[in-house]
Amino acid sequence: MSPSAPNYLFEAKQKPSLDQFAIPLIEATEESVKGYGYLIDDPDDCEIEIVTWPAQGWRPIDQGTGNEGGYVEGIFSAQWYGDVLMGSNQAVDGNYVLGWSTDPQNASFERQTVPRDQVLLWHFNYHPDGGQMFFPLDKKPFVVPVALPGDDLKPDKVIAFWCGGNKGLYIHPGIWHEGIFPAVGHQSFLDRQGRVHARVSCDIGEEFGVYLAVPLYQ
């Protein structure tokens, strides 16, 4: 199983060559995102769901407590460096290797060697404490890989939403996801998520022996 606190910053060659598992790309519409979340016209109208802290035994959590942490907000930036897609999340002070456009053993951080038409995704996570909003500040297309709740994650349960850039995407608590993938070189997003920031992780490569090949274009 994957470690509970994965290392998000590493050189590409620290990851092995693995087979690629193709993920379907689906246009994000009001209908297609049902069950995962919903589309957003105005971030000011988006309320973040906060999940009440679970009871530890048979005594219940006192009503009105265990859900008072609220949310945090900041800018999530996604930037290509050569063949490596990096992410930075000011809301939770996080920096990540999101994936690569090619086999990590061949990926260059200094220069682009292949078209940036996919992201090979190595990691997935979800937040049990709250939902999360991504709203594009650059109004350009972006892609978000997701899977429905449940710890029995499998590669064939993962899809990716293609978003045109005129709306944001909100995902419910427990939805598997990764950072936001820009369809062009660099993009910034308003990120809003639960302040507790509990995170459950899955190292896709270690657990399933593949990378998820997420297309960036329809």
Domain edges within the chain = 16-51+69-215
Give the Å distances, CA to CA, from 194 to 130, 191, 211: 5, 10, 28
Q: What average pLDDT does this structure show over 35-59?
A: 96
What is the spatial distance between Cα 130 and Cα 115, in angstroms, rounded to a whole number? 35
* Whole-number pLDDT of residue 2: 46
Neighbouring C-beta atoms of residue 110, cutoff 10 Å: 9
- The token pair at 67 is 């859900």
Which tens digits make up the pLDDT trace of 2-21?
455 678 878 888 999 999 99
Which tens digits make up the pLDDT trace of 93-141?
989 999 999 999 999 999 999 999 999 999 999 999 999 999 999 999 9
At residue 184 the predicted structure's pLDDT band, cuts being 50, 70 and 90, is confident
Share of the chain above pLDDT 70, in %: 98
Give the Å distances, CA to CA, from 156 to 18, 21, 23, 153: 16, 8, 8, 9
186-194 vs 71-81, strand pairing mode: antiparallel
Class in CATH terms, 16-51+69-215: mainly beta
Residues 6+ apart with CB under 8 A from 15: 104, 105, 122, 205
Burial of 140 (0-12, 13-18, 19+ CB in 10 A): middle
What is the spatial distance between Cα 32 and Cα 201, in angstroms, rounded to a whole number? 25
* Whole-number pLDDT of residue 195: 93
* Whole-number pLDDT of residue 5: 65
For the cut 80, the answer to whether the pLDDT of residue 47 exceeds it is yes
